[in-house]
Amino acid sequence: MRVNSFLHPVTFNSDIASVNNTYSTDRKHTVTLGSFPAGSSFTGKLQQITIFVSSIASSAANMTFKITKDSAGNKILTDTTAGAFTIGETATTGSLTFVPEYPIYVAGSDTVYIWYKVDTGSCTVDSDSHLIWEE
């Protein structure tokens, strides 16, 4: 018997400006993961999260993020220091990738919220940031 898995890329579709050293309700992405049927409980394995940043200012070097199942940020699915930015050819741009490879379950919804903060200074999380999940 052969069992296949499917990878689902999900882009974030908006920039989040002025990410600084605290989490804030106005600096998070609302991400619909794409369960079937739409809006149903989500069960999947997070494979990769890639965060592209620009406008890096005042020595911002490391990012911490959390993924929550509620928009208030209280029901945390994961919270991690993703690490240092890999700086692009333009010194104020960069990226980082986190590979959690673990399952998550969100009861009654396929929406999660991704919150960001940096160690010092500020940056913008770019709209082409994305995650990949596996079913």
pLDDT tens track for 7-21: 999 999 899 999 999
Radius of gyration, alpha carbons of the chain: 15
What pLDDT was estimated at residue 91? 80
Instruction: Report, as an integer, the average pLDDT of 75-86.
Output: 89
Specify the pLDDT at position 51: 96
Name the residue among 113, 118, 119, 117 with its Cα closest to residue 131. Answer: 113
Question: In sequence order, what are the residues at sequence separation of 6 or more whose Cβ sits closer than 8 angstroms to the Cβ of residue 63?
Answer: 19, 51, 53, 81, 82, 83, 85, 96, 116, 117, 118, 119, 123
Specify whether the CB–CB gap between 33 and 47 falls below 8 A: no
For the entire predicted model, the pTM comes to: 0.92
Confidence at residue 55, expressed as pLDDT on a 0 to 100 scale: 96
Question: CA–CA separation, 37 vs 97, rounded Å?
Answer: 29
- pLDDT band at residue 5 using 50, 70 and 90 as cut-offs: confident
